[in-house]
């Protein structure tokens, strides 16, 4: 029993160190590529703080976001590296010779993948949302080097508790201080229903501390719902600067925030995307375990040797998983399938196949 426990720890750390190395290498590559793509605009930087300091802070904020996105790929890379090393040193064959099956050898790796799933979910739900606002602030600081070029943000979600205002803006022009294709949910009191205002366009009035908007609202009459023109000033603390700083991608928001906005605007197209994102967020951490279930039977042969062909198959399965996931999410965002099917069907299907392959593995 003591030998088995030592073996489990050994196998766990055989995966853990390649995992960390792959994480550092891939994150470094992503930073280099992104910096190269933005080089021209970054060279135009005219901010008050030193450029390298701002760029370093930007990437420090982006690291948790990137890590949570690519973590399943890193898990697969760590598993393949660990299995190849154990095979080349004939350790897998030695373990088999004393009666330990490959499935039993793979259990510490699956536990490691499960821990990676938990860590990834924690980073996505706690660390990323807590840094989201600061990430956006630093991003704005870098983008100010564009001069007169407009800075546009899409699908901005914001809330003003002081004025009981929830706002979804299809487009925010930070430079011109205007919004377009927006919906405002005005909560007057607990006794009266919320008022939904469909905003065609709005302009920020600094002197009046509010948005002067043009659009319509639906008013319930005896004949039914009627459209009533709406052209008023909505007073709020949601300035263009505040909206821009809060215009973080939905992938950087917590599940509670996504749920609140989806409930506030059930008829808005953005609500459908939010509900799809919620189910994707819940299902995505399982990708670590799924890819591990495929990696062990595909990479390791019955003899205990690793196969280059098997590594290729494992990478192919990973590519298929992401392609199917992206396709289903697109269908969900367009409303072709329910959000829960879009979010959970790839994970469910690949989990079933992965468990079946692992259980049938004879080595």
The pLDDT tens digits of the residues spanning 294-310 come to: 988 888 876 667 778 88
pLDDT at 1: 46
CA distances from 37 to 31, 34, 41, 294, 352 (A): 10, 5, 9, 34, 40
Q: Residue range 25-42: average pLDDT? A: 75
CA dihedral for 34, 40, 44, 50, sign (positive or negative):
positive
Q: Which residue has the higher pLDDT, 50 or 221?
A: 50
Q: Residue range 334-362: average pLDDT? A: 90
Over the chain, what is the mean pLDDT? 83
Q: Which residue has the higher pLDDT, 215 or 245?
A: 215
**Of 76-80, 221-225, 359-363, highest mean pLDDT:** 76-80
State what percent of residues in the chain have pLDDT above 70.
87
pLDDT at 363: 58
Cα–Cα distance measured from residue 285 to residue 120, given in angstroms and rounded to the nearest whole number: 7
pLDDT at 344: 95
Q: Residue range 161-188: average pLDDT? A: 83
Radius of gyration of the chain (CA): 25
- Burial of 216-233, coded b for 16+ CB within 10 Å and e otherwise, reads bbeeeeeeeeeeeebeee
Whether 307 contacts 299, CB under 8 Å: yes
Cα–Cα distance measured from residue 254 to residue 130, given in angstroms and rounded to the nearest whole number: 9
Contacts of residue 221, Cβ cutoff 8 Å, sequence gap at least 6: none
Confidence band of 2 (pLDDT split at 50, 70, 90): very low
**Of 33-37, 63-67, 89-93, 198-202, highest mean pLDDT:** 198-202
Whether 200 contacts 215, CB under 8 Å: yes
pLDDT at 301: 78
pLDDT at 164: 80
Confidence band of 165 (pLDDT split at 50, 70, 90): confident
Confidence band of 100 (pLDDT split at 50, 70, 90): confident
Please check the confidence at residue 316 and state whether its pLDDT lies above 50: yes
Closest to 321 in 3D by CA, of 349, 289, 361: 349
pLDDT at 144: 63
Reduce the DSSP state of residue 159 to 3 states and report it. Answer: strand
Whether 145 contacts 51, CB under 8 Å: no
Confidence band of 101 (pLDDT split at 50, 70, 90): confident
Closest to 12 in 3D by CA, of 119, 113, 159, 157: 113
Q: Which residue has the higher pLDDT, 327 or 58?
A: 327
Please check the confidence at residue 229 and state whether its pLDDT lies above 50: yes
Closest to 84 in 3D by CA, of 314, 348, 245: 314
Please check the confidence at residue 247 and state whether its pLDDT lies above 80: no
Reduce the DSSP state of residue 265 to 3 states and report it. Answer: coil
Q: Residue range 305-319: average pLDDT? A: 88
Confidence band of 221 (pLDDT split at 50, 70, 90): low
The pLDDT tens digits of the residues spanning 38-89 come to: 666 666 666 677 777 777 888 888 888 888 888 899 999 988 988 888 888 8
Q: How many residues does the chain have?
A: 363
Cα–Cα distance measured from residue 146 to residue 44, given in angstroms and rounded to the nearest whole number: 7
Task: Tell me the longest C-alpha to C-alpha distance in the chain.
Answer: 83
Cα–Cα distance measured from residue 312 to residue 310, given in angstroms and rounded to the nearest whole number: 5
**Cα-based torsion angle of the residue sequence 335, 341, 342, 343 in order, rounded to the nearest 10 degrees:** 130
């Amino acid at each position: 029993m003591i030998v088995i426990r030592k073996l489990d720890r050994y196998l766990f750390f055989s995966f853990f160190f390649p995992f960390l190395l792959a994480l550092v290498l891939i994150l470094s590559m992503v930073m280099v590529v992104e910096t190269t793509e933005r080089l021209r605009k970054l060279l135009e930087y005219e901010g008050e703080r030193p450029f390298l300091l701002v760029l370093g802070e930007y990437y420090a904020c982006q690291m948790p976001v990137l890590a949570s996105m690519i973590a399943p790929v890193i898990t697969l890379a760590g598993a393949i590296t660990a299995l190849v090393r154990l095979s080349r040193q004939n350790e897998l064959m030695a373990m088999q010779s004393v009666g330990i099956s490959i499935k039993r050898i793979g259990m510490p790796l699956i536990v490691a993948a499960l821990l990676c799933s938990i860590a990834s979910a924690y980073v996505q739900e706690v660390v990323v949302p807590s840094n989201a606002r600061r990430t956006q602030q630093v991003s704005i600081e870098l983008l100010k080097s564009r001069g007169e070029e407009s800075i546009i943000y899409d699908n901005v979600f914001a809330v003003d508790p002081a004025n009981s205002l929830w706002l979804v803006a299809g487009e925010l022009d930070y430079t011109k201080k205007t919004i377009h294709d927006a919906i405002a949910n005005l909560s007057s009191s607990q006794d009266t229903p919320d008022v939904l205002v469909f905003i065609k366009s709005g302009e920020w009035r600094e002197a009046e501390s509010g948005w002067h908007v043009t659009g319509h609202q639906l008013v319930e009459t005896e004949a039914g719902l009627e459209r009533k023109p709406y052209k008023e000033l909505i007073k709020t603390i949601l300035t263009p600067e505040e909206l821009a700083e809060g215009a973080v991608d939905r992938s950087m928001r917590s599940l509670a925030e996504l749920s609140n906005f989806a409930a506030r605007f059930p008829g808005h197209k953005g609500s459908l995307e939010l509900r799809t994102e919620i189910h994707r967020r819940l299902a995505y951490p399982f990708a670590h375990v799924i890819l591990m279930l495929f990696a062990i039977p595909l990479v390791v042969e019955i003899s205990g040797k690793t196969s280059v062909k098997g590594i290729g198959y494992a990478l192919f399965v990973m590519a298929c998983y992401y392609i199917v996931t992206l396709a289903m999410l697109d269908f969900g965002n367009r409303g072709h399938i329910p959000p829960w099917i879009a979010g959970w069907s790839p994970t469910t299907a690949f989990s079933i196949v992965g468990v079946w392959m692992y259980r049938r593995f004879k080595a």
